Amino acid sequence: MLVLHYTGMPDAPSAINWLANPESKVSAHYVVTEDGQVIRMVDEGKRAWHAGRAHWRGITDVNSASVGIEIVNPGHEFGYRPFPEEQMSALIPLVSDIVDRHAIPRANIVGHSDVAPARKQDPGELFDWQRLARVRLALPIPNGRLIDPYWSDGAFLLALERFGYDISDGRAATTAFQRRWRTHTIDGVIDGECRALLLALLLDRDAGRAR
């Protein structure tokens, strides 16, 4: 797996120092700064403590099964803002290299909020997932004719679990889904658009189009 984060700290030096400090008990394999520097913090062959309590597609020890990238951004607490061009331009080849080395499928390139919906919001709704999707480094947001399957809320959550999310907190899982796939409204409420998007994602995956 590949997990993308934002640093959620006021500036890059603070984030890098914190990630390098053993007392913090957090780490990541890479940091990408806003001006496009890529800093390797932990060798990819070693475990980094970036995901915390997390779950994706039945994997509960995400740290041992993933590479983690911290993208410098103050986050929702310190003035969340779009990710600059220099940063995205540096991130894409880094992600591409990691994916090639470890044969990571697109469905397992995720955000921290995807694997820890009750705790995390990063990299957040301003992160340009569609840019990664255009170069096949993430799943695209479904478009075209979407069909609402009219699932009950319980059925939606079961489908969300089938896709990969931890649904122990249903509202948090729905919010995380929206933060990734339906960014214009993030309210944790299951509606027809959410159902239709999830159905399309599952159909694509089952048809082998999500690899």
Q: Please identify which residue in the block is written with the tokens 């995400």.
A: 62
**Residue 40: helix, strand or coil by DSSP?**
strand
Torsion of CA 193, 104, 61, 180, to 10 degrees: -20
CA distance 64 to 62: 5
**Terminal CA-to-CA distance of the chain, rounded, Å?**
13
Number of H helices, E strands in the chain: 8, 5
Q: Which two tokens stand for residue 113?
A: 């909020």
**Catalytically annotated residues:** 70
- Closest to 30 measured CA to CA, from 1, 3, 59: 3
Helix (H) or strand (E) holding 71: strand 67-71
